[in-house]
A and B are shown apart, each in its own frame.
Chain A
Amino acid sequence: MYFDGFQSFLDMGGYGLYVWLSFGVSFLSLAWLWLDSFFSKKALFKNVHAEQARLARIKVASENSENNGVQV
């Protein structure tokens, strides 16, 4: 490691604020974008599941009503 200790690593030669601000913003933005993309994909699959479940319910309902002789 280039620095003497953890304190001097955090201090960054007196420029700690600017260095850690830069790295913080960079990796938070990147992580946010990555997680957003990942969870959007999950949400899309969940939509398909919900839609399939809805279609299945409609099918069951229409079969039941046919048995009772009721128009849907």
Chain B
Amino acid sequence: MWKWLHPYAKTERTYQLCQLLLPWFSVFGLFIIILATVWGLAFAPTDYQQSDAYRIIYVHVPTAVLSKSLYIAMAVAAFVGLVWQVKTSFMAMMAFAPVGATVTFVSLVTGAAWGKPMWGTWWEWDARLTSQLILLFLFLGVISLYKAFDDKQQAGKAAGVMAVVGIINLPIIHYSVEWWNTLHQGATIMKLDKPSMPPEMLWPLLLSILGWILVCGAISMLRLQNEILQRDLKRPWVVKLALNEHVWGDKK
């Protein structure tokens, strides 16, 4: 059943798959993210309570959603690497980690910039904000732990265990707004009931989530390629590939 996955344990195949998908993710992602941002900033109607400050939602929600999705992706990659000893998995884990750390950082900054005018404070040590900050530390922890080992197989195992254990933080983030009394509002779209938002505000939001997913997918694939190249730098297929590639400042 999982046989189709086996060739991708070979780094060269994974590299080629990324190379095939990269232009599509990059072009569509960039196009959609620009479209959604312009729509959200300039064309969506204003909010009767929050006025135009609510427009921060068009970067805050996509990054917050992605921070959790990227953590899951990283933890799944780590789990596959730990259980089946697939080295490409650990490379994928290390490709997701910086992307996840960046979007988590952005979600915290945009949250603070939204909290200041609406709640009157940049930061509050409440459940949602604190658990999201811990998510950022988990991403950074995985990256630093991996970099602390010279033997990359050992590094993958150590960082992988941390990534898998850290998944406990995800339900805490998700349910923090229900379990504790917090400043942060409850779910708007990710709930069973129908979304509590009018369509002319919801559409640019859904589009911007899609745009961020595609761009983060593109960056993750690019970083996975870099991990593979780094590891296989002296292998013949990389040498052949590199010699076909034009490099700036190279005398031919």
Cα–Cα distance between A33 and B99 once the two chains are bound (Å): 7
| A30 in contact (CB, < 8 A) | yes
Complex contact B106–A26 (CB within 8 A): yes
What are 30 inter-chain pairs, A to B, with CB distance below 8 A?
Answer: A2-B46, A12-B51, A14-B51, A15-B51, A18-B114, A18-B116, A19-B52, A19-B53, A19-B55, A19-B56, A21-B113, A22-B109, A22-B113, A29-B106, A33-B98, A34-B215, A37-B219, A37-B223, A37-B226, A38-B222, A40-B226, A41-B229, A42-B248, A44-B233, A46-B247, A46-B248, A48-B238, A49-B243, A49-B250, A52-B242
Contacts of B109 in A (CB 8 A): 21-22, 25-26
Q: Which residues on the A side are within 8 Å of B230 (C-beta)?
A: 44
Which A39-61 residues have a C-beta within 8 angstroms of B?
40-42, 44-49, 51-52
A15 to B49, CA, bound (A): 13
Chain A residues touching B, range: 20 to 34
Bound state CA distance, A26 and B223, in angstroms? 19
Q: How far is the CB of A28 from chain B (nearest CB, A)?
A: 9
Q: Which residues of A contact B (CB under 8 A)?
A: 1-3, 9, 12-15, 18-19, 21-23, 25-27, 29-30, 33-34, 37-38, 40-42, 44-49, 51-52
A19 to B46, CA, bound (A): 13
Which of B6-14, B37-45, B131-139, B140-148 lies at the interface with chain A? B37-45
Given contacts A22-B113, A22-B114, contact A29 B234 (CB under 8 A): no
Q: Is A48 a contact of B106 with CB atoms below 8 Å?
A: no
Question: Do most interface residues of chain A lie in helix, strand or loop, or is the interface mixed?
Answer: helix
Q: Which residues of A contact B234 (CB under 8 A)?
A: 51
Closest A residue, CB atoms, query B107: A26
Q: Does B225 count as interface, using CB distance less than 8 angstroms?
A: yes
Task: Provide the bound-state CA to CA distance between A23 and B62, in Å.
Answer: 12
Chain B residues close to A by CB (< 8 Å): 37, 41-46, 51-53, 55-56, 59-60, 63, 98-99, 102, 105-106, 109-110, 113-114, 116-117, 215, 218-219, 222-223, 225-226, 229-230, 233-234, 238-239, 241-243, 245, 247-250
| Given A29-B102, A30-B106, also A48-B242 (CB < 8 A) | yes
| Residue ID in chain B nearest A55 by CB atoms | B239
Instruction: Give the residue of B56, B102, B110 whose beta carbon is less than 8 angstroms from that of A33.
Output: B102
Q: Which of A2, A18, A26, A52 gathers most chain B CB within 10 Å?
A: A26
Interface contact B110-A25, CB-CB below 8 Å? yes
Whether the Cβ atoms of A18 and B102 lie closer than 8 Å is: no
B41 with A23: CB separation less than 8 A: yes
Q: Is the CB of A44 within 8 A of B229?
A: yes
User: Contact check: which of A15, A30, A48 meets B117 at CB < 8 Å?
Assistant: A15
Q: Output the nearest chain B residue to A21 by Cβ-Cβ distance.
A: B113
